[in-house]
Structure 1
Amino acid sequence: MTTFAQKTIYQVYPKSFFDTNGDGIGDIPGITAKLDYLQKLGIEMIWINPFYPSPQNDNGYDIADYTAVDPLFGTMDDVSTLIREGKKRNIGIMIDLVLNHTSTEHPWFQKALAGDPFYRDFYFFREGKRDGTPPTNWESKFGGNAWEKLPDSTEYYLHLYDVTQADLNWANPNVRDALYDVVNFWIDKGVEGFRLDVLNVISKPKFLEDDFEGDGRRFYTDGPKIHTYLKELHERTFGEKSIITVGEMSSTDIANCVRYSNPEEKELSMVFHFHHLKVDYPNGEKWRLGEMNLATLKSIFHTWQVAMSEENGWDALFWNNHDQPRALGRFVSDAPEHNYHAATLLAATTHFMRGTPFVYMGEEIGMMNPKFPVINDYVDIETLNHFGILQQQGFSESEVMAIIKERSRDNSRTPMQWDDTENAGFTTGKPWLKVAENANEINVQQALQTKTSIFYFYQKLIALRKDYPVIQNGDYTPALTDEDSIIAYTRSLEDSKLLSIHNFASEKQILTLPSGFSNAKILLSNYQREELNSTIELSPYETLTLLQ
């Protein structure tokens, strides 16, 4: 059995992957139908975004029942079939759990609203201030205040995310017991992994107070009892089982992430953090347009990789997910003439790092941001909220749309492009979200027929990780740090040494190879390169990995 150092994990946003019943929404049988495709790619684990019963105010992250399947996606039998068919192909299933909050339609919250004292303490209900304003000035991650007033009451409940996502009170042992039961339910079903949403915000301080220095996040990010809770979660659920766990960590730091993912701490297998995806945020503001700062990106990669390597933490390696616009066109050019080289450059940059690579559906064929021109094309709640918020801040509608086209989460949620038929082969019905206009040129069918496609480059990357221990477990050292347009590093394990070089410029770059690499083996390049000299010319968006 491969370890998580050898695996590459593929993320499926089920709503947009493949629809088998013509209702315009991807489903669980649709994932099962495409297992052979994922096996061909070399995938050994699939992370599936939430498929539980939900009002779908936040695309399933507002869970109304943790131990059932939303009819939108299929049945529990469909999930069992997926798990069984996955095992036949050596593909494990990782599910997405949201343990910080439930939907306000969850029975726990409904019982709390009805006055049941047992369930009242499952959430954060607080009296407003004397003037009737919310208990604190904390802000929701989705905009506005983080407290919602109950109808005909002076009380509020806490929601760090959408108003329909009420935060759970982890200080209450009954809450923790209930959530551990959920995790064990899915382990018993045969699930082999868990991606745990916004996990590092579950621990709130005992006393909730105004934040006069920010939006409240400093009080609950990597909160006071977070490591205690995660150790208990580990002990009571996945423990010594062969379960892979990855925690999504919001606004976190290296020291905490090392603790979360160091196996000696017995908390999690690995962590998602997002510092590298904020290098195009002007002054840290997502909803503003800015250019990617490569020097900052390089510094973040090197700092995190070195620290995690030295302290035995473990990173989840990724550029794309359902909460981010696609990296192609964001960090590199999405011009058609650069599509192959830019996409494969991004892939190789992270796949040769220390950690477990995650591939987001469509990334392996070069899917791009659709940049829909009008607000009616968007359905994401965060996007729709900021359409109003940004105009209130003084931006014109055209300025707001320019921002949304670059920043909306819907950019990555468009249906998977399978072929050049109607709706890109995703559905025979009306898709829940528009298909990107370039689906006729960029699709799976086309990629599989072209031996030099992005797909086959990803296939090579995934196979190399399985074959080379130095990629799996080698130490990480920054290299060629004076080259402004280059991200490069070495990986070292015993007698093996690898040098991975990535040219983020759309122009050629000339550089001198470090000592000992001019006669090295070319492990992988996205150009036809037959030989090496001590001085080499890198083509635009060239990636080159050498093995001594």
Structure 2
Amino acid sequence: METAFRRVEQQTVTRTWWKEAIAYQIYPRSFNDSNGDGIGDLRGIIEKLDYLEDLGIDVIWICPMYKSPNDDNGYDISDYQGIMEEFGTMEDFDALLQAVHARGMKLLLDLVVNHTSDEHPWFVESRQSIDSPKRDWYIWRDGQGGEPPNNWASIFGGSAWELDPETNQYYLHVFSKKQPDLNWENGDVRTAVYDMVNWWLDKGIDGFRVDAISHIKKKPTDTMLPSPDGKKYVTAFSMYSNIDGIHEYLQEMKRKTFANYDIMTVGETNGIEPEAADLWMGADNGAMNMAFHFDHVDIMRQSRLAPLDVVELKRIFDKWQQGLLETGWNALYIENHDMVRAVSLVGDENHYWRESATALGMMYFFMHGTPFIYQGQEIGMKNVPLPSIHDYDDVATKNEYFERIANGMSEIDSMQQVWGTSRDNVRTPIQWDASPHAGFSTVTPWMPVHEEYETLNVEAQAKDAHSILSFYKTMIRLRRAEETFTYGSYRDVLPDHRQAFVYERAFEDKRFLIVTNLTANPATVTLPDVVTGTLVLTNELDPEPIDTETFLLKPFEARLYRL
């Protein structure tokens, strides 16, 4: 019999610190409140750095903490070089940076330069008059017969254009109407952005996660889109995502900023394909080190309406794993601030909570790329359904809710959508312990904590050797100890199996097999050969040995073998 577990020819590897790192994403408003106002802050992050160091984190990525009116939770920036008052001061930030570096960790910031807040001084000046020196810093157009310049829809719902009554022109906003898009065609805009980027890098930060960067180039705004379903505003990704010419801007930004520092850069690159990897994240030509793609997220989100398509999920991961093995680098994740909790979406939070949270973790954590953990993921935090739309904070959630109501959906059906899709599901406070407000704050937090916080929290899991938190700590130690998980080849062993995700990592003389059942039903698995080796990690408390080619996996069972 031809064995599946054979030595694989290795690609050339270039070792660097950001490939070998374990990253952790912090949503500061919900991480830890140090001053008792119900809102997380920078000093609160400092208080929890020992926790992150003990977890095994190398890189911390903090969502925006810049000055902002907070229409989109900080992604609408009014001052790139100021700190939001609720989060602290620049002195607090400097103390955080120093404390992170003292522990041997790195700090990434969010770089949000597709748009600003409408309260940013640049936009305030731009909207003063049609003749403003900064008018062309944003994208302004005349309307057509009392309507917007075209029928492009915003990603957050409704028109992508907002009328400014003072000048009687419309400005473009791919996201919220309080997030006007910068005009990257204007060289002065780019220079101002680069100056700001270098200011932060000179301060000593270790890189950026670059927000919505695939949207900075737009197609001509006189383009109307067909509307086969009769909708007034039409999804317009093809008008402002990965448009020809974008790489001229990206390469210029790299030359004038990123390339001059030893940093880590991660692009949020909706809509790209592996074939474009060289320009986005190639070792020599890439504008950034790595990128977040969304293909697997789309498959996961479809599981709200039907069982998870495990075969398609594996196909997507294989496409990116193989596509970037030689050129580019993957940023690995299953949760972030724009998603819902993975264990609630594609796991089984009611019957197999621990099993599914750990299986999903193992499924992605040992792939080729740099793994990211979103705060609370490491303890299996769940979605938090709130009773009323008025309990929600997210601008996209509210826009979509009321748009569905306007289109005839009932309030209860629209709330069902909110409970399953709102980004606020991952923005509730971290559950640190069983004290009031889950130890996040001494007062009522800005968003409610999950009702199960007294049992589902960090403190309880830290004491349990079989907890989700303990499982993540073990995965992190394994990943750090074995170069195979960083630099090894990747191969999907059973691409057509409808329940099991089984893949092999190989590097030099070492091979590992990752075996996960991603369903709530037992899975019969037949491998091309008998697994011979050592069981290194499993989420089963009493694992049965595998000594045949065909064996049974329990619901959401996960195993890692050294072959």
TM-score category (smaller protein):
over 0.9
1:518 paired residue among 531, 535, 540: 531
The 8 Å contact of residues 280 and 290 in structure 1, kept in 2 or not, is answered as: no
2:412 paired residue among 398, 402, 418: 398
Matched to 1:122, the amino acid is W
After TM superposition, the structure 1 stretch with the greater mean CA deviation from structure 2, 182-191 or 506-515, is 506-515
Cross-structure match for 1:219: 239
After TM superposition, the structure 1 stretch with the greater mean CA deviation from structure 2, 440-449 or 217-226, is 217-226
Is structure 2 residue 307 aligned with structure 1 residue 294? Answer: no
Please state how far the C-alpha of 1:456 moved relative to its aligned partner.
1.3
Instruction: Map residues 191-270 of structure 1 onto 2, 5 A cutoff.
Output: 191-206=205-220, 208-212=222-226, 215-270=235-290
Is structure 2 residue 472 aligned with structure 1 residue 455? Answer: no
Cross-structure match for 1:320: 335
The 8 Å contact of residues 10 and 360 in structure 1, kept in 2 or not, is answered as: yes
Determine helix, strand or coil for the equivalent of 1:342: helix
Instruction: Map residues 271-310 of structure 1 onto 2, 5 A cutoff.
Output: 271-279=291-299, 281=301, 289-309=305-325
Determine helix, strand or coil for the equivalent of 1:501: strand
Instruction: Map residues 113-262 of structure 1 onto 2, 5 A cutoff.
Output: 113-115=127-129, 117-129=132-144, 131-206=145-220, 208-212=222-226, 215-262=235-282
1:274-308 Cα distance to aligned partner (Å, 9 max, x none): 111112556xxx9x855432232222112221212
Please state how far the C-alpha of 1:538 moved relative to its aligned partner.
1.4
The 8 Å contact of residues 156 and 175 in structure 2, kept in 1 or not, is answered as: yes
1:303-339 Cα distance to aligned partner (Å, 9 max, x none): 2212122x4221111111111111112111101x412
The 8 Å contact of residues 418 and 445 in structure 1, kept in 2 or not, is answered as: yes
1-structure distance, mates of 2:30, 2:423: 13
Cross-structure match for 2:103: 89
Cross-structure match for 2:558: 543
Matched to 2:252, the amino acid is E
1-structure distance, mates of 2:92, 2:558: 41
The 8 Å contact of residues 132 and 154 in structure 1, kept in 2 or not, is answered as: no
1:23 paired residue among 32, 37, 55: 37
1-structure distance, mates of 2:57, 2:308: 30
Determine helix, strand or coil for the equivalent of 2:313: helix
The 8 Å contact of residues 292 and 330 in structure 1, kept in 2 or not, is answered as: no
1:163-189 Cα distance to aligned partner (Å, 9 max, x none): 000000111111111111111111111
The 8 Å contact of residues 29 and 78 in structure 1, kept in 2 or not, is answered as: yes
Instruction: Map residues 324-473 of structure 1 onto 2, 5 A cutoff.
Output: 324-335=339-350, 337-473=351-487
2-structure distance, mates of 1:466, 1:407: 34
Matched to 1:36, the amino acid is D
Determine helix, strand or coil for the equivalent of 2:82: coil
1-structure distance, mates of 2:187, 2:270: 24
Can you give the 5+ residue segments of structure 1 that lack an aligned partner in the other structure? none
Determine helix, strand or coil for the equivalent of 2:501: strand
Determine helix, strand or coil for the equivalent of 2:80: coil
Instruction: Map residues 41-80 of structure 1 onto 2, 5 A cutoff.
Output: 41-80=55-94
2-structure distance, mates of 1:289, 1:372: 20
Please state how far the C-alpha of 1:379 moved relative to its aligned partner.
1.2
Cross-structure match for 2:23: 9
Is structure 2 residue 51 aligned with structure 1 residue 37? Answer: yes
Determine helix, strand or coil for the equivalent of 1:263: coil
2-structure distance, mates of 1:317, 1:208: 38
Please state how far the C-alpha of 1:543 moved relative to its aligned partner.
1.1
Determine helix, strand or coil for the equivalent of 2:110: strand
TM-score by length of 2: 0.93
Determine helix, strand or coil for the equivalent of 1:66: strand
Note the aligned Cα RMSD (angstroms): 1.8
After TM superposition, the structure 1 stretch with the greater mean CA deviation from structure 2, 19-28 or 466-475, is 466-475
* Structure 1 pair 352–243 and aligned structure 2 pair: CA distance change class (3 A): same
1:125-170 Cα distance to aligned partner (Å, 9 max, x none): 11112x1211111110000010001114431000000000000011
1-structure distance, mates of 2:24, 2:496: 34
2-structure distance, mates of 1:360, 1:468: 23
Matched to 1:239, the amino acid is A
The 8 Å contact of residues 231 and 267 in structure 1, kept in 2 or not, is answered as: yes
The 8 Å contact of residues 345 and 541 in structure 1, kept in 2 or not, is answered as: yes
Please state how far the C-alpha of 1:355 moved relative to its aligned partner.
0.8
1:364-411 Cα distance to aligned partner (Å, 9 max, x none): 011100112322221111111112111122211111111110101110
After TM superposition, the structure 1 stretch with the greater mean CA deviation from structure 2, 490-499 or 346-355, is 490-499
The 8 Å contact of residues 329 and 368 in structure 1, kept in 2 or not, is answered as: yes
Can you give the 5+ residue segments of structure 2 that lack an aligned partner in the other structure? 1-14, 228-233
1-structure distance, mates of 2:278, 2:474: 30
* Structure 1 pair 239–390 and aligned structure 2 pair: CA distance change class (3 A): same
Matched to 1:326, the amino acid is R
Matched to 2:536, the amino acid is L
Determine helix, strand or coil for the equivalent of 2:64: coil
Please state how far the C-alpha of 1:537 moved relative to its aligned partner.
2.3
2-structure distance, mates of 1:163, 1:291: 36
TM-score by length of 1: 0.95
Matched to 1:442, the amino acid is L
2-structure distance, mates of 1:274, 1:59: 21
2-structure distance, mates of 1:215, 1:452: 46
2-structure distance, mates of 1:90, 1:201: 34
Cross-structure match for 1:487: 501
1:110 paired residue among 114, 124, 143: 124
1:206-259 Cα distance to aligned partner (Å, 9 max, x none): 554222275222122111222121111111112042200001112333323453
After TM superposition, the structure 1 stretch with the greater mean CA deviation from structure 2, 252-261 or 41-50, is 252-261
The 8 Å contact of residues 347 and 353 in structure 2, kept in 1 or not, is answered as: no
After TM superposition, the structure 1 stretch with the greater mean CA deviation from structure 2, 482-491 or 347-356, is 482-491
Determine helix, strand or coil for the equivalent of 2:137: coil
Please state how far the C-alpha of 1:63 moved relative to its aligned partner.
0.2
Matched to 2:311, the amino acid is A
Please state how far the C-alpha of 1:99 moved relative to its aligned partner.
0.7
1-structure distance, mates of 2:466, 2:178: 46
1-structure distance, mates of 2:387, 2:324: 41
Matched to 1:151, the amino acid is P
Please state how far the C-alpha of 1:205 moved relative to its aligned partner.
2.9
1-structure distance, mates of 2:318, 2:467: 29
